[in-house]
Amino acid sequence: MTNNEPILSAKQVSKTYGGHCVLDKVSFELHSGEVLCVVGENGAGKSTLIKILSGAIRPDSGIIGVHGGTYSALNPRESMQLGIATIYQEVELIDSLSVSDNIFLGNETLGRFPLVIDADSQNKKARQILDMLHIDIDEKMLVEDLSAAQKQNLQIVKAFHQEARVLIMDEPTSSLGVEETRSLMQLVHDLRGRGLGIIYISHYLEEIFEIGDTILILKDGEQVGLYPRADIDVNFVIHNMVGRDASMFFVRERVPIGADQIQVENISWKDAVKDVSFNVRAGEVFGIGGLVGSGRSELAASIFGMVRKDAGTIRISGQELSINNPKDAIKNKICFITEDRKKYALFDSMDVQDNIVIIHTEFGKSPLLKQKKENRLAKSMIDKLHIAVDNTEESVISLSGGNQQKAVLGRWLLNDATLFIFDEPTKGVDIGAKEEIYKLIIELARKGKSIIMISSDMPELLSMSDRIGIMREGRLIKILDNQRITEEDLIHDFIGI
């Protein structure tokens, strides 16, 4: 690093929502070639901080310093023009254009005739940039044909092309598989080497310790501290963000496993699920691993009736079920806790309590009693999962990402089903709350429930599952007894080498 001027700084930045201070005098400096990681529990204020930097929201007080200037607030346009690029989960690309067109959008290479885009030279340049960053995407492909991970890479490439000096990423790996996460880590590393300053938010502390130069810990909106990575360790971070010791490697309690309870036989759906069969016993956690796109979620959707399977049967204790839609599945005591809470799981217009109790409709005749019971149930879940809300009537959309996930979980955990299917149950959830969720899952197992748990989080898959089924290209290729298996073993099986 040649000069020590920060490329971005925040001084005493604060934000209050409805009298509740969610960011309290936070300060940091970011330098060229530095990766600053922001960590904290769900609701700690991480996304709020980056929204202030990207210009999405105004702080109440404090100063943002960028490019030699100081600002009391930015708008999204200013932020972008000052070289701050924010990679959002909701991708801002144009599906019907090619990779190359998207890189140059708003900045097209014009040909000899005005207003005619020179596609050839644009494609060539796009290829160069992609190669330079070691990104293996065909520049001529349509964006609609790219995977989520590729789209995210493309957004980063675009920011790089637009000469962004600061790249902000809020939980960029939460929807990525193992391999994709590894290549993102590599890309961040490359960009850092090219002098970008990077702000990186993640609940995966392995990632933080792999790529972070400095670590900013937030707790309840307050800045616990800003530390060089070399000065601290994982336990220090966990202790200071959660306020107690928790473990990166959860050790679950063993519960007795009973007889076969769920029989899934020869399930097929389109090209995504091919002739899948397995059993799950009472009290068993059956983990399902595989790469993103290996058919895991589609298998769950076929069992739950979210899609109409082409073939196969599902039995509970030998009794064949007729499932044509999720309603049938719920009636037959099957729950599906989906990973895509935005699309399927949350009711934006309802408050937190109603979101939790929504599937418990028949509590008796008196509305007053019903209200009381709902209130009690919702409160118990909010307490158990430490959902950060001011009151149960708060609207769910104002909750932080992880707290929304916990509200969805809370709803299903109240349900008396026989089979619980979890799809990425702790996605976006902080390390303290993860433990609570794991304990609740084990609690279900103890009651003799059967659990199918799809997960891309390897430590989670390994620490929670009694057996692990591995999916590859729609097939369940292997079922492993979870004894002495390592992450590396699993990855080999996922990829097939």
Ligand X SMILES: Nc1ncnc2c1ncn2[C@@H]1O[C@H](COP(=O)(O)OP(=O)(O)OP(=O)(O)O)[C@@H](O)[C@H]1O
Residues that bind Mg ion (CB under 5 A): 47, 401
* CB nearer ligand X, residue 173 or residue 400: 400
Shortest CB 399 distance to ligand X, Å: 5
Judged by CB under 6 A, how many residues of this single chain contact ligand X? 18
In contact, 397 and 348? CB cutoff 8 Å: yes
401 is a contact residue toward ligand X (CB under 6 A):
yes
From residue 354 to residue 373, the character string flagging contacts with ligand X as x (rule: CB under 6 A) and all else as - is --------------------
From residue 171 to residue 210, the character string flagging contacts with ligand X as x (rule: CB under 6 A) and all else as - is ----------------------------------------
53 is a contact residue toward ligand X (CB under 6 A):
no
Residue type, 375: N
- Per CB under 6 A, the list member of 10, 44, 440, 471 interacting with ligand X is 44
CA pair distance 161, 155, nearest whole angstrom:
10
From the list Mg ion, ligand X, none, partner contacted by residue 40 (C-beta under 5 to 8 A by kind)? ligand X
Supply the DSSP symbol for 231. Answer: G
Supply the DSSP symbol for 171. Answer: S
Shortest CB 464 distance to ligand X, Å: 21
Contacts of ligand X in 143-162 (CB under 6 A): none
Kind of pairing between the strands at 260-269 and 311-316: antiparallel
243 is a contact residue toward ligand X (CB under 6 A):
no
45 is a contact residue toward ligand X (CB under 6 A):
yes
42 is a contact residue toward ligand X (CB under 6 A):
yes
In contact, 164 and 133? CB cutoff 8 Å: no
Residues 6+ apart with CB under 8 A from 485: 462, 468
* CB nearer ligand X, residue 17 or residue 310: 17
- Within 455-495, residue ranges assigned H as helices are 458-464, 487-495
* CB nearer ligand X, residue 99 or residue 409: 409
- Per CB under 6 A, the list member of 291, 399, 417, 490 interacting with ligand X is 399
Kind of pairing between the strands at 285-290 and 273-281: unpaired
CA pair distance 422, 418, nearest whole angstrom:
13
403 is a contact residue toward ligand X (CB under 6 A):
yes
43 is a contact residue toward ligand X (CB under 6 A):
yes
- Per CB under 6 A, the list member of 17, 132, 331, 366 interacting with ligand X is 17
Shortest CB 43 distance to Mg ion, Å: 8
Shortest CB 340 distance to Mg ion, Å: 17
Q: Give the tokens for residue 491.
A: 């990855």
- Per CB under 6 A, the list member of 8, 10, 13, 22 interacting with ligand X is 22
- Per CB under 6 A, the list member of 62, 287, 402, 425 interacting with ligand X is 402
In order of 15, 172, 240, 329, 356, the CA distances from 44 in angstroms are 12, 18, 12, 37, 22
Contacts of ligand X in 416-455 (CB under 6 A): 430
Shortest CB 87 distance to ligand X, Å: 15
Q: Considering only CA atoms, which of 380, 425, 451, 36 is closest in space to residue 217?
A: 36
461 is a contact residue toward ligand X (CB under 6 A):
no
3-state secondary structure 370-428: HHHHHHHHHHHHHHHCCCCCCCCCCEHHHCCHHHHHHHHHHHHHCCCCCEEEEECCCCC
- The CA-based dihedral angle spanning residues 354, 360, 366, 371, taken in that order and rounded to the nearest 10 degrees: -30
Residues 6+ apart with CB under 8 A from 28: 9, 10, 36, 214, 216, 226
Total residue length of the chain: 497
46 is a contact residue toward ligand X (CB under 6 A):
yes
- Within 27-82, residue ranges assigned H as helices are 46-54, 76-81
Q: Considering only CA atoms, which of 39, 53, 48 is closest in space to residue 398?
A: 48
Residue nearest to Mg ion (CB): 47
240 is a contact residue toward ligand X (CB under 6 A):
no
Choices 5-13, 74-82, 375-383, 400-408; region in contact with ligand X by CB under 6 A: 400-408
The site for ligand X (CB under 6 A) is made up of: 17, 22, 40, 42-48, 388, 398-403, 430
